């Protein structure tokens, strides 16, 4: 039986495993690998803080992931398949490592976050064109 996500160390492990999958991924790697690898430790720390706040309401994150992903979209043109694959890799990472209430919460919140970003980045942009 796997343990649940219980602390900041578990979050960092999850984030590290997830981003290793992401940068190796055929679809997402070319979009993100260079940016993430260039600032690996900083990115892992910031993203871990984000997920600590999402899971434990820690207050350890003050960035703006929407702005970061909007900028990425302007550069590479994100679409639904990118967000779907992101969710898939995140779920795989959680399921490899953890099970329990917080693991399920992480997966649930990851889907909501991805769909909100997708809506604000892709759908809003498409709406302004018509």
CATH number of the domain at 88, please.
1.10.490.10
Domain of residue 105: give its range.
8-129
Q: What is the four-CA torsion angle of 105, 97, 86, 66, rounded to 10 degrees?
A: 50
Rounded CA-CA distance 89/76 in Å is 19
Percent of all residues in the chain with a pLDDT value above 90, rounded to a whole number: 67
Please list the helix, strand and coil fractions of the chain in percent, rounded to the nearest 5, in that order.
80, 0, 20
pLDDT tens figures, 76-116: 888 999 999 999 999 999 999 999 999 999 999 999 999 99
Considering its fold, how many domains does the chain have in total? Answer: 1
| Residue 12 covered by a domain | yes
Name the average pLDDT for the chain.
90
**pLDDT at position 65:** 83
| Structure token digits, residue 11 | 């979050």
In the block, tokens 């302004």 appear at: 128
| Residue 3 covered by a domain | no
């Amino acid at each position: 039986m796997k343990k649940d996500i219980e602390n900041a160390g578990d979050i960092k492990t999850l984030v590290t495993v997830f981003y290793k999958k992401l940068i190796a991924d055929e679809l997402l790697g070319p979009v993100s690998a260079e940016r993430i690898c260039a600032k690996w430790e900083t990115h892992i720390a910031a993203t871990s803080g984000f997920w600590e706040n999402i899971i434990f309401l820690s207050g350890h994150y003050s960035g703006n992931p929407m702005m970061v992903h909007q900028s990425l979209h302007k550069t590479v043109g994100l679409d639904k398949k990118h967000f779907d694959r992101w969710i898939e890799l995140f779920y795989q990472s959680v399921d490899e490592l953890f099970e329990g209430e917080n693991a399920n919460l992480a997966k649930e919140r990851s889907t909501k976050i991805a769909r909100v970003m997708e809506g604000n980045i892709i759908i809003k942009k498409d709406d302004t064109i018509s």
